[in-house]
Amino acid sequence: MTSNVDAVIIGAGHNSLACACHLAARGWRVAVYEQAGEPGGAVKSGAYTQPGFRHDWAAMNLSLFAGSAFHTDHGEELARHGLGFAPTANPFASLFPDGRWLGISNDRALNRARIAGFSAADAEAWDRLSDDFPAEAETIFALLGSPMRAASLAKLGCSTLRKRGAGGSLDLAQFLMMSPRAWLDQTFEDDRVKATFAAWGMHLDFAPDIAGGALFPYLEAMAAQAFGMVLGQGGADTVTRAMVRMIEARGGSVTCNAEVTGIEEAGGRATGITLSDGRFIGADKAVIANVAPSALLRLTGGSGDARHDKAMKTFQHAPGTMMIHLAMDALPNWPAAELNRFAYVHLAPSMDQMARTYAQAKAGLLPDEPIIVCGQPTVVDPSRAPEGKHVLWLQVRMVPGQIKGDAKGDIAARDWESAATPMAERALDLLERYAPGTRARILDRHVVTPAMLEADNPNLIGGDQVCGSHHLHQHFLNRPARGFADGSTPIRGLHHTGAAVWPGGGTGAGPGTLLAQKLAGK
């Protein structure tokens, strides 16, 4: 048996690390154990193609982290440990099959002019959204940063009612329940304008017709204009490396290649963890598990609370994602040179096509025309590739974790090891269709399938990068289960964190921060 610490944390994803940093800063002795060979979970970077080309494994956009409560509290200390950001004023654009495109930059007048090129009425709608955003953002960000506890919600509800009145509060509630298509159809008239914003819903698991999904396209569009976008200097793993150094500098530890095989308890209270080599690590104050709900059930053997255990067992995951990392001799041969300025270029031509892709993936089919999210990090941070070269970060969204068939009828494989190459070719064919000549600029590639994502990080079940659907039945008070959205569990001293817990996925470290604040009394 080793000496006890105050808190032992399972998993070294960014939520775990943020939680450990905050607790360590409050004087707690913390120890983090990670089954993989390096920390970071989905937030890590490496030379996955050729030396000198640095690719982000999964997460690329660090705007949520840069604007988070955690960074507000600890940013100066993290900067001393090497945290560096690479901001851009040109966050995202959508390119359409006819060669037209719409981009959103950190310039309201420019955005309005671009939208007016599609619809004068939509430009006026954009003006209204822009005017209203400061007031709307205050309420929405307060909600997204609030603990899902009765007292916190009651306080927020009273504040919202006082500021917005009954009608305004009900309007907000209605908006939070709307699908992307419902809100976009009410707000804009041009289908390409709608598609530009609807594409952001696909970054989570909000296809155009899923209730509760309107919030994310709205926030991404408005926040991109208001704040731009932030990537990590040298790679998204700048946040991981800085947090590990902060933990170690404060006397804590992060141990990799250390698989946790059990959470131990005595008298209804969690006492520590057991590692695969048989070691027991004791915890005097808290055992914190950054794991998928099914893994929490497996590690505890059951909490003794039938409702909680059923929720962990039946927790639903979003469709998977395929990543394609490309080392490039040059950027894609876009039909408009201005697209070389954007961090993201979406190849998502219509809401109908997004809905079809999502339905196919949910049915276990390889989509015939998946959404392509083309990240261009070297546009923002040239240090990630040799001089004059580039990296591309391609997300193929969505794809099934378990393959039952091919919507196009061309791919016979039913396992990802065999389907990886033909599905990657389908995605690259799409990129070539939008930017002819781009294939000739590819120097090397590395394909990451949903199965590989899960093997690397067991929380990403079926390649689900957000560790669980964010649909309304599994969000807000219900994430991961009613009564447990604050990270508590039926076992005293055992706490749950990570993207499966409110406020969910993304790089904002909200679940880890909220839990640490609760445990440390802020």
pLDDT of residue 150: 85
Same domain for 219 and 113?
Answer: yes
In a domain, 141, yes or no: yes
In a domain, 487, yes or no: yes
85-88 and 229-232 beta bridge pairing = antiparallel
- Give buried/exposed letters for 37-52 (b at 16+ CB in 10 A, else e): ebbbbbbbbbbbbeee
Q: Tell me whether residue 218 is in a domain.
A: yes
Q: In DSSP terms, which residues pair with 283 in a beta bridge?
A: 5
**Residue 1: per-residue pLDDT:** 44
CB atoms within 10 A of CB 87: 18
Q: At a CB cut-off of 8 Å and minimum separation 6, what does 110 contact?
A: none
211 and 110 together in one domain: yes
Same domain, 192 and 274: no
Is there a single domain that holds both residue 112 and residue 221? yes
CATH code: domain of residue 280: 3.50.50.60
- Collapse the DSSP code of 101 into the 3-class scheme (helix H, G, I; strand E, B; otherwise coil) and give the result: strand
* CA–CA gap between residue 90 and residue 337 (Å, rounded): 13
Do residues 261 and 307 share a domain? yes
Give yes or no: residues 260 and 156 share one domain: no
Looking at the structure, tell me whether residues 221 and 157 fall in a common domain.
yes
| Co-location of 126 and 203 in the same domain | yes
Domain that holds residue 288: 5-37+256-315+468-520
**Whether residue 156 is found in the same domain as residue 216:** yes
* Contact between 226 and 105 (Cβ < 8 Å): no
Q: What is the pLDDT of residues 396-409, one digit of tens each?
A: 999 999 999 999 99
Same domain, 260 and 220: no
Q: Please check whether residue 204 lies inside any domain of the structure.
A: yes
In a domain, 387, yes or no: no
Q: How far is CA 451 from CA 45, 184, 200, 368, 435, in A?
A: 19, 34, 24, 20, 29
Cα(204)–Cα(142) distance, integer angstroms = 21
For residue 513, give both structure tokens: 């921060």
Residue that finishes a domain, picked among 207, 227, 247: 227
* 160 in any annotated domain: yes
pLDDT single digits (tens) 19-45:
999 999 999 999 999 999 999 999 999
Domain count, the chain: 2
Identify whether the C-beta of residue 137 lies closer than 8 Å to the C-beta of residue 122: no
Give the CA angle between residues 439, 445, 448 to the nearest 5°. 125
Do 301 and 37 touch, CB atoms closer than 8 A? Answer: no
Low-confidence stretches of the chain (pLDDT beneath 50): 1
User: Both 117 and 221 in a single domain?
Assistant: yes
- Residue 243: the pLDDT is 98
**Whose CA is closest to 515, among 304, 287, 247?**
287
Q: Is 408 within the bounds of a domain?
A: no
Indicate whether 500 belongs to any domain.
yes
- Statement to judge: residues 223 and 260 lie in one domain: no
